[in-house]
Copies of this chain bind each other. A is one copy, B any other.
Amino acid sequence: MPRVSPERLQSRRREILAGARACFARYGYEGATVRRLEDEIGLSRGAIFHHFRDKESLFLAVAEDDAISMADTVAKHGLVQVMRDLAAEADSPETTGWLGTQLEVSRRLRTEAGFAREWEDRKQAIAQATRQRLARQLEAGILRDDLPVEVLAGFLELAYDGLITHLAMGSNSSNLDTILDMVETAVRRR
Give A residues with C-beta under 8 Å from B. Answer: 28, 103, 106, 109-111, 147-148, 150-151, 154-155, 157-166, 168-170, 175-176, 178-179, 182-183, 185-186, 190
Contact = CB atoms under 8 A, between A and B. Distances in A.
A166 B155 contact: no
4 closest Cβ pairs, A-B complex: A162-B162, A158-B162, A161-B162, A161-B165
Most chain B CB atoms below 10 A, which of A159, A170, A179, A190 = A179
Majority secondary structure, A binding face:
helix
A111 to B, nearest CB: 7
A183 B175 CA distance: 17
A182 B158 CA distance: 11
Given A106-B168, A110-B170, A159-B159, 7 more contacts: A28-B111, A106-B165, A151-B179, A154-B179, A155-B179, A159-B162, A161-B166
B168 A110 contact: yes
How many copies are assembled? 2
Contacts of A150: 175
Contacts of A185: 186
26 contacts: A103-B110, A106-B165, A106-B168, A109-B169, A110-B168, A147-B178, A148-B175, A151-B178, A151-B182, A154-B175, A154-B179, A155-B179, A155-B182, A157-B162, A157-B166, A158-B159, A158-B163, A158-B166, A158-B179, A160-B162, A161-B165, A161-B166, A162-B165, A165-B165, A183-B186, A185-B186
A99 to B, nearest CB: 9
A29 to B, nearest CB: 12
A159 B110 CA distance: 19
A157 B154 CA distance: 17
